[in-house]
């Protein structure tokens, strides 16, 4: 009796924090829905409880998430790696999530003479990421004057408030717009799933963290692959097999037409078109491609 009460009350109930409203919100919600979680996520909610998994979701500012995870206020967080790096918290990065890509760069005015960060070691640097900037310049023996600004960092050099910026960029368009050019990448970032260390060691929580992670990895893996079916002359099988070795080996089914087979396999997205061209050259025909929803490797 005591045990089932504790389950209802949530000794094994996980808490996950994600960004409430911003660049990571839609993709985070999509991921949680894709792994089959059912919860309300509309409007200005601060909190939802999943109906079909022992998980509660806390919607917060992204800047608060690293601390929540580090201190154990929540067990898990979805947040940009740049913020984990900035806040230097002690947490476990469980999985990169494939969205929220950006880089933290050192940028200077296009017409300035600066060519490398080493020339900025005692310059004025404007940034919203003071710790990341400080750590980076310390690593190359510099101690610049760090000016912390929370928004519109890119205008600082034009206003002669700073000689350079340390700023996040995804497409580079905002740098370009402000006449800035990047001279160094400090960090490559994307959204990551992070976990509190004690939660990972907690026997009540760990099995549910592992279940979530298995589902997330299945969705991630499915995005990396396409499922491909094709017809090919049986004599070409060795060549086709060398082009698409498949996850273990391709499935080969004989066709009613003598000397022809159907081949089923998975191809990684990155090399997809290259492989299709090679398959066609090897004699594959009627190539049918479909997306995968989940893939457990």
Q: How far is the CB of 21 from Zn ion (least distance, A)?
A: 10
CB of 82 to Zn ion, least distance (A): 10
For the chain, the maximum distance between any two Cα atoms, rounded to a whole number of angstroms, is 77
Q: Kindly indicate which of the ranges 59-67, 155-163, 176-184, 197-205 contains the residues binding ligand ATP, using the contact rule CB under 6 A.
A: 59-67
The verdict on 86 binding ligand ATP (CB under 6 A) reads no
99-158: which residues touch ligand ATP (CB under 6 A)? 100, 102
HEC states along the chain?
CHHHHHHHHCCCCEEEEEECCCCCHHHHHHHHHHCCCCCCCCCCCCEEECCCCCEEEEEECHHHHHHHHHHCCCCEEEEEHHHHHHHCCCCEEEEECCCCCEEEEEEEECCCCCCCHHHHCCCEEEECCHHHHHHHHHHCCCCCEEEECCCCHHHCCCCCCCCEEEEEECCCHHHHHCCEEEEEEEEEECEEEEECHHHHHCCCCHHHHHHHHHHHHHHHHHHHEEEEEEEEEHHHHHHHHHHCCCCCCCEEEECCCCCEEEEEEEEEHHHHHHHHHHHHHCCCEEEEEEECCCCCC
How many of the chain's residues bind ligand ATP (CB under 6 A)?
16
User: For residues 102 and 240, which CB has a smaller minimum distance to ligand ATP in the complex?
Assistant: 102
Q: Which structure tokens are listed for 217?
A: 């990895």
Q: Which of 12, 27, 41, 63 binds Zn ion (CB under 5 A)?
A: 63
Of the residues 61, 143, 198, 280, which one makes contact with ligand ATP according to CB under 6 A: 61
Cβ(123)–Cβ(145) under 8 Å? yes
CB of 166 to Zn ion, least distance (A): 16
Considering only residues 69, 89, 126, 168, which one is a binding residue for ligand ATP as defined by CB under 6 A?
A: 168
Binding of ligand ATP at residue 66 (CB under 6 A)? Answer: no
29 binds ligand ATP (CB under 6 A): no
Among 87, 132, 169, 199, binds ligand ATP (CB under 6 A): 169
Which span sits near ligand ATP by CB under 6 A: 133-141, 154-162, 167-175, 268-276? 167-175
CB of residue 159 to ligand ATP, shortest distance in Å? 20
Shortest CB 172 distance to ligand ATP, Å = 9
CA distance 186 to 132: 8
Shortest gap between Cβ of 224 and ligand ATP (angstroms)? Answer: 21
Q: Does 131 bind Zn ion (CB under 5 A)?
A: no
Smallest gap from Cβ 173 to ligand ATP, in A, equals 9
**In the complex, which residues of this chain contact ligand ATP (CB under 6 A)?**
19, 22-24, 61-63, 80, 82-83, 100, 102, 168-170, 189
């Amino acid at each position: 009796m005591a045990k089932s009460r504790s389950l209802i009350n949530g000794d094994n109930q996980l808490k996950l924090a994600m960004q409430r409203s911003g660049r990571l919100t839609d993709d985070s919600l999509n991921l949680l829905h894709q792994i089959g979680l059912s919860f309300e996520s509309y409007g200005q909610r601060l909190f939802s409880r999943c109906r079909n998994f022992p998980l509660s979701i806390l919607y917060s500012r992204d800047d608060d998430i690293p601390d929540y995870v580090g201190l154990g206020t929540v067990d898990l967080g979805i947040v940009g790696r740049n913020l984990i790096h900035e806040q230097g918290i002690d947490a476990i990065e469980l999985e990169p999530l494939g969205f929220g890509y950006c880089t933290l760069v050192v940028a200077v005015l296009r017409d300035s003479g600066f060519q490398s960060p080493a020339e900025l070691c005692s310059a004025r640097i404007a940034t919203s990421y003071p710790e990341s900037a400080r750590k980076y310049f310390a690593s190359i023996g510099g101690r610049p004057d760090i000016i912390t600004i929370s928004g519109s960092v890119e205008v600082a050099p034009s206003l002669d408030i700073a000689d350079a910026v340390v700023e996040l960029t995804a497409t580079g368009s905002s740098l370009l717009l402000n006449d800035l050019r990047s001279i160094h990448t400090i960090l490559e970032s994307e959204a990551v799933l992070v976990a509190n260390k004690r939660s990972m060691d907690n026997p009540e929580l760990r099995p549910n963290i592992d279940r979530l992670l298995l589902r997330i990895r299945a969705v991630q893996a499915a995005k990396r692959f396409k499922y491909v079916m094709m017809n090919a002359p049986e004599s070409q099988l060795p060549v086709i097999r060398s082009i698409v070795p498949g996850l273990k080996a391709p499935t080969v089914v004989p066709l009613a037409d003598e000397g022809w087979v159907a081949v089923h396999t998975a191809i990684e997205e990155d090399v997809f078109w290259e492989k299709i061209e090679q398959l066609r050259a090897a004699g594959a025909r009627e190539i049918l491609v479909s997306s995968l929803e989940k893939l457990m490797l």
